[in-house]
Amino acid sequence: MLYEIKVELKEIEPPIWRLLRVRPQTSLSRLHKIVQKAMGWTNSHLHLFEIDGQVYSEGGIDWESDIQDYHGMRLDKIFTEGRMSFLYEYDPGDSWRHDITLLGAVEGEPGEKIACIGGARACPPEDCGGTPGYYDLLVALLDPDHEGHNAMLDWVGGKYDPEAFDVERVDQALKRLR
């Protein structure tokens, strides 16, 4: 059995999302790695999870607030008692907040442990300034006459297609995840 979960970036329209299949025993530490690959992030910033108002992250980080160590937290323990969703935040500076929602349990292929079976749109580039910066980036990239067009185009490596998403490429990246 696998959980089918939807990971959707909040405050972005049109939505950026991934539909994933993961094992119920998946830890939050592992889920962080899965979301990084699935969304296209580079795992170069801090992250946290919020479940029923309690914040969790990896131990050993000196946070300024009451954050619990997430080791030992697994999806099959989180998705209980009617709880169907929680929050994942990547890069608290840019505040990329994602809803993680359990859609149901399904039978996977024999030996299947993880898969991406759907999604939409490319992940925003790292360090673009959160949602407001992302929208500013899109405005500059879409208008060749915009004063920041060339600088932003160089900054994203010469090309960025916000509509691009390749489910097979994401699925293969997840299969290589250790």
Examine the domain organization and report whether 53 and 131 are in the same domain: no
107 and 154 fall within a common domain: no
pLDDT (tens digit per residue) in 23-54: 999 999 999 999 999 999 999 999 999 999 99
Task: State phi, psi for 71 to the nearest 5 degrees.
Answer: -60, 135
Residues 39, 58: one domain? Answer: yes
Query: Average per-residue pLDDT in the chain?
Result: 94
- The CATH number given to whatever domain includes residue 89 is 3.10.290.30
pLDDT given for residue 63 in this prediction: 66
Residues 83, 168: one domain? yes
Same domain, yes or no: 70 and 98:
yes
Give the domain range for residue 141: 123-162
Residues 9 and 21 in one domain: yes
pLDDT at 61 over 90: no
| Selection from 95, 51, 98 nearest residue 75 by Cα | 51
Q: Render pLDDT for 66-114 as a digit per residue (tens, 0 to 9).
A: 888 898 899 999 999 889 999 999 999 999 999 999 999 999 888 889 9
Looking at the structure, tell me whether residues 101 and 149 fall in a common domain.
no
User: So what's the pLDDT on residue 110?
Assistant: 83
Classify strands 96-106 and 114-120 as parallel, antiparallel or unpaired.
unpaired
Confidence (pTM): 0.93
Residues 25 and 96 in one domain: yes
- Tens-digit pLDDT profile for residues 155-178: 999 999 999 999 999 999 999 987
Name the one residue in this structure whose structure tokens are 């359990």. 102
Report the C-alpha gap between 38 and 30 in whole angstroms.
12
Q: Please report the pLDDT score of residue 132 as a whole number.
A: 96
Q: Tell me, what's the pLDDT at 108?
A: 82
Beta carbons within 8 Å of 174's beta carbon, 6+ residues apart: 20, 34, 37, 38, 114, 115, 116
Pairwise CA distance, residues 12 & 131, whole Å: 7
Reply yes or no on whether the pLDDT at 129 is more than 70.
yes
Q: How confident is the model at residue 60 (pLDDT cuts 50, 70, 90)?
A: low
Q: Are residues 23 and 79 in the same domain?
A: yes
pLDDT (0 to 100) of residue 64: 65
Q: What is the pLDDT of residue 160?
A: 94
Same domain assignment for residues 117 and 131: no
